[in-house]
Structure formats: C-alpha cells, structure tokens
Chain A
Amino acid sequence: MDIQLLGITVLWVFLYGYLITASIDFGAGFFAYYGELTGRDHIINKIISRYLSPVWEVTNVFFVFFFVGLVGFFPDTAYYYGTALLVPGSIAIILLAIRGSFYAFGNYGAKKSRVYTFLYGVTGLLIPASLSTALTLSEGGFIEEVNGEVKFLAGELFSSFYSWSVVLLAIVSVLFISAAFLTYYASRANDEPALELLRKYALFWSAPTILSSILVFVALQQHNSVHFERTLDYAWFFIASLFCFLIATYLIFQRKRYGTAFIFVMLQFFFAFFGYGISHLPWILYDHITIYSGYTNETTGVYLVIAFIAGLCLLVPSLVLLMRLFLFDAEYVKGNKS
C-alpha cells in the first residue's frame, strides 16, 4: 500500500470514529431535549448524562484529529476547502462551540436550564447537516477555479437534490445510531423504562435510515455518474451494510442482545462509509485534488505516519481504560459509582 493510500485510510478511520461517537452525542442531545418537551426527561436524561459527561471532549478530538490530519497529509485541501468552506465551516464551528460549551454550562454548572437543553438538542441536528456539506462538496460541481481563485457556488449547493439527500441521511443516521447505542446503554443499566423508550426511538428511525441511504444513491447517480459507477464496483460493501442493518434491527425488535445489535449498527455504517470512501478514490475533491496530486512532501508524510503510530500506542490503551471505566463497568453505568 502506498503512503498516500495509507494516509487517507488512517484519516477515514478517524472520521468513522467521529461519525459513531459524535452521532451518539448529537442524537443524545436531541433525545434529551425531546424528552424534556414531552415530559419524559426523568426517564432517559440520567442515562444520557452518565454516558456523555466523561466522554464528550474525546468525541470532539476525533474531529480535530481528522481535519488537522487531512490538512497535514494533503495541504491542497486547505487551499480548496479552506476557501470554499469559509461560511459553512464558520457556521459549523459556531454550532460546535455553542454545543460543547453549553453542555458544560448545563451539566457541570449549578442548575439546568431549558434554554441550554434546547440549544444542545437543536445544534445536535444542525451540526451533522452543516458538516456533511464538506462531503457533498467533495463530489465536485460546487467549487470552481477561475484565474487561480477558488469560488464556492453556494447557490448550486442549496438547490442540489444530492446535497439535500446527504443532509437527510446525516440527520436520520445520527438519530438511529444514537438510539441504538442508548438502548444498549440503558439495558446495561437495567433501566427498563429508559430501555423501552429508547428501543422505540431506535426502531422508529431504522426505516428512514435505509430509505435515505437509497435516496443518496439515486441522487449521486444524477450528480456524479463517474462516482456512482464506481460504487457499483464495490457493491458488496453496501450489500454487507444492508445485511448488518437487518440483523441489528431484528435483534432490537426481538429485545435480544442489544450489545450485539449495536455492534451490527457500527458494522452497517462501517461498510457503507468505507464503501463510499473507496469508491470515491483517488479523488479527494472531484476534478481538483486526488490523494496523489494533493499529497504533502514525502518526508513530512513519513514523519506523520510515524507520529501517528506512536500516538496510537498511547491512545489505544487510554481509550480502552476510558471505556472500561465508563462503558463496561456495570456498576458505574447503573449509577452506583460516582
């Protein structure tokens, strides 16, 4: 495997990590607010904050890691995406800032506030929508280079069927992933009422998830037929994804093995996400940057990979420790440990 491919794979793994952890977080925020609206917050909010409090910052780092790594391995992306994404990127930052800090204000602060939960819940759905614009842009057609100046065609983006189908998929998946995880977490805590409610949410969002995935394919065919053809070459990824989805929903429906069900949800998105990624290659930004044309200096690339491996040796055990203390420690999950 050449180093460019290794680089993009590493980054893709981190983006996948962010996709899963952030979805749980974003969805949880929405459910917490929805729970408050419908007077059911006492049922699920304890579960949510017990999981989120120690890990929300880690979730954020996955994202930082991805974009720093992307610019590091492929500095040309800074030039194209940086220029094009000024407005949508800034809005995403502002939403992330509101969300992160309001979480801390609300959860570590003296008292809960309805405004905080509202902002926390709403941003949880707007952020995936605004972040997914970056993925939409990568399909090409929204960035134009005239006389060496990069122009972002915002009008095209807003009127594009493809871009809206991606936004829909992003939001729906967030809710599905989150509900599936929280169902598992509630079952670990032996919290029957929370489990019932969250299980209902998970089942409710399962069908829209798969329907919007199909919609994205249809839209992609219209928008970038080259990429669409390539996805057909990797069809087995998407079939595997569908298969995992069916197992996951079956298990949740049968009230069986919620942990295994969530693993299948993760696999479902793993296959879809990597199938999408592989078929997108070698393009990073269609028509402008490939992983070869935008690649950083060779020496820097080697150093980055070394730094990455060294960092992983440090991170993986730490992450395992974090999960053992807060995810797999039944006593903590049940709320018997501080």
Chain B
Amino acid sequence: MTGEPRANLPPLSLHVPEPKFRPGDQAEYSDVIVPPAGSGRRPDPAEPAAQFHELAYGLVRVLDDEGNAVGPWAPRLTPDTLRRMLRYMALVRAFDERMFRAQRQGKTSFYMKCTGEEAVAVAATMALQRDDMTFPSYRQQGILIARDWSLVDMMNQIYSNKGDRLQGKQLPIMYSTREGAFFSISGNLATQYPQAVGWAMASAAKGDTRIAATWCGEGSTAEGDFHSACTFASVYRAPVILNVVNNQWAISSFSGFAGAESTTFAARALGYGIAGLRIDGNDALAVYAATEWAAERARTNQGPTLIEHFTYRAEGHSTSDDPSQYRSANEASDWPLGDPIARLKGHLVRLGEWDEERHAAQDLELAELVKRCQKEAEANGILGHGLHQPLDTLFEGVFEEMPWHLKEQRAQMLAEEEASGRPWARK
C-alpha cells in the first residue's frame, strides 16, 4: 500500500548502498584517501575524547613506501622485536595456508583465514601484556600465535580430535584458552564486545592492573552489542581497547552496509566520548603504536579507546565462501595499503636487518614447522575418522553438576548406541 502522492512534492527515494565494483569490473582505489606516513599527530594518552576528530577521520601510518618508519607514532622497536613480529605474521599466514588446505582435503569441516589482516592481531598482541585479557572474533588467530600458543593445540581444536581441549564441542577455529588469556570465541557476532567491557570493569573494580582488548569486524559494529559496549565503556571509563577490523567486507556485503559510506568506524567513538583512532591496519608498526598508546590510556584510568584498523580481507570469508561471486577479482592485489607482511619485511630490509634470502629461508622453515605440527595433531585424529571423544562427554559441562534429566538422556543415548551395533558404539 502506498500513500497518496502530493503533486507539489518530489517523491522520496530509498538509498541502498552498492559497492563500486562487482565481478568483472576493474577495481581501482583513487577515492581511498591515503595520507602520507608520519602525518598524524600523537596526542597525550590523557587527552579528552572530544579532541580526536582529526585522528578518527584520518589514517595513522608509520611505514612509508620506502620502508621507513616515520612520524610521531613510530614505536622505535628493536630489530629483534621487529623480526619477531615478522615471524609471527608469517607463521599466521603459513598456518592459515595449511589449515585451509586441510579443510579442502576433507580433514576438517571448516576454516577461516585472516590473510591480509595478520598485523591487526599480531602487532596488537605484542603491544599488550601477556595477561591482558583478549576477547577476539574468529579472525584473530594471530593473538594465539603471538603469544606462542601451541600450534598443535590449535590444530587439535580444528580437527576436533582426541587432543582437543574443547572436547569436540566447538566448530573449528572457535578457540578458547584461559591460560592464554584468550576468551572463548562465540559464533554470535559482537557478543564479546560488552563482555570485554565487563571484564575490564571487573578488573578496575578490583584494583587490578590488567586491561582487556576486544576485536570485531566492521560488519559487526551494526549489532546492538557494539552500541551497548561503547556506552558501558564510556560511562564507566573501562580499561578496554575496542578494535574494529574494517576489512571492507562482511561476507558478501561491503562496508557501506555497516555505515561506511557516511562516516568512519573510528568516528563512531567520538559520539560515545571515547578516543577514536583510525589507523593503517596493514602497517604493523601503526597497529603496535596505537595499541601501546591505548593500553597506556587504559592503564592510567583515562578510559577506553576505539581503534579502527583500515585493512582488506584478502581472501574469502571462510572455506564456505566464494568471493568471486560478489566482488572484483583484482581488489585484494591492488589494495592501496599493500600487504602487511611485505611492508614489515621491507622495513627490516631497509634497516639492513633482514634480506630476501633470510625471508625465503624463514618461510620455508615456518612451512616445515606447521607441517610437523600438523602431523603431530593428525596423530590425534581428524574430523570424520571415528569418534575421538567418549560419547558421553556430549553431556558434560552443560552445568557444573549433571542434573537428572541429562543423566537420563545420557543413559538413554548410551543404551541406544549399544543396541544399534553401529561402529560408534563405545569401545
């Protein structure tokens, strides 16, 4: 049903965002404003949120095109630290390659890569303390790797095998480790955002010194939980770092559907009274510097920071996705902020602390390392090759103590299994 149009008024029209390029188009990025590295100011970590307009709409960059680290945000890391950062990022990529292939080989049901976004998790984690609590989304495997978490343990989870600490209960890559200060990943988007704020509030209420950091994609900022988290973070000045990984795509919908046509994601912080930084997410040093700055702000009770990491999801959303169905083929290769690993490598080479030979050797070594770990993990079983967990673990952990109705259902299941004569019957 429509209203009666009034002759003297123009008809309204509905704007539905549309990405500039679709399959078959040649993507080009002349409209993406990339300010020169070193151009953004670095405020005092105590500066009031209202003064962050320029930083929330700008783009903090440290590494220039020649591989120099320039400007007030340059974190002045030692060559050893830079090499460690590079190694972690390369390891994340090697891990992703291998696990993606494992899924294609039918060894597991599902995988998600973070190609092109390795700096976002790795460099941020290196700027945090080991016991600062992280509330990641599903694309920050770099946190675990930068915390030297066991690759075999991660793979066990991916394979849901007998070494899986999560007892095969979770979809692959939904890691969880309390010891690694890495919160249990949920499939429900943005739910970790208010949880991170709550964790940070608890830390502050107890007079602790630890802070929390959380990550979500730009698509997830549209969830109500994003809003409630920002409100709580601001109201209670929670010691939390709110990371928005703007990789331009939420599965098939471009960032315009999360509001990017009209504003930046960092700018959303300003309305909440939160310091907002928009940074080059493919510049590991910018990620490190921004996180270090936000951590200092949080640790000195100056409150939360929202960091938008401007980056690009170089591959499909997941193993279940085919990006060639909705976006232009050359988008990733032509992305103006380049590749985070190549850029950090270029910086180290420029410093005379790295070279092509060492890089190639490291890539080889990491590929071997991942392969070795994969073998070790696969010795614990892969998904689909029989049952790796005792059947009745299915009922464990719903509650602290198993109530009667679950005990009854467990007994019933075991009896049915026994009677069926199926190969999965308990050994």
Q: Do A and B bind each other?
A: no
